[in-house]
């Protein structure tokens, strides 16, 4: 059963801000991970519906993590999060299956708008 949102970011403060923003919108945060490797293990265990995934992380970065997640869980919704929206990285993430992009610093309104876009894109994908 897929449910909730997993937050993946190597920055603890970003995870905390995103968690409080999502919870204040009455969205269920199932867990948090600080690395791509931990994210994959948590997705296998928790089966979140949505993953908020930082693009730039040490070790396994967000793009590599995204590709691994989409290979195993093609129907998972992935919202990429970044403070540096370099066009080539954004294009790479979208072509690898990302459903949307959230640019830091974010506000609650930006988070909700990005989630709505990601969900809409997800619903339009072929099953």
pTM of the model: 0.94
> By three-state DSSP, how is residue 127 classified?
coil
Residue ranges covered by each domain of the chain: 5-124
Say which CATH class 5-124 falls into.
alpha beta
Place of tokens 């072929």: 126
pLDDT in tens, 31-74: 999 999 999 999 999 999 999 999 999 999 999 999 999 999 99
Name every residue whose Cβ is closer than 8 Å to that of residue 27 and which is 6 or more positions away in sequence.
4, 5, 115
> By three-state DSSP, how is residue 31 classified?
strand
CB 61 within 8 A of CB 37: no
Alpha carbon of residue 121 to chain centroid: 14
- Of 61, 110, 24, 17, the C-alpha closest to 32 is 17
């Amino acid at each position: 059963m897929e449910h909730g949102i997993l937050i993946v970011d190597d920055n603890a403060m970003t995870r905390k801000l995103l968690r409080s923003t999502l919870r204040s919108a009455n969205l269920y945060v199932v867990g948090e991970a600080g690395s791509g490797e931990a994210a994959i293990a948590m997705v296998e265990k928790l089966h979140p519906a949505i993953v908020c995934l930082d693009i730039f992380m040490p070790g396994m970065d967000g793009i590599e993590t995204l590709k691994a997640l989409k290979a195993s869980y093609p129907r998972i919704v992935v919202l990429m999060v970044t403070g540096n929206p370099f066009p080539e990285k954004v294009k790479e993430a979208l072509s690898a299956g990302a459903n949307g992009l959230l640019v830091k610093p974010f506000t609650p309104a930006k988070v909700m708008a990005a989630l709505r876009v990601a969900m809409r894109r997800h619903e339009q994908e072929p099953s």
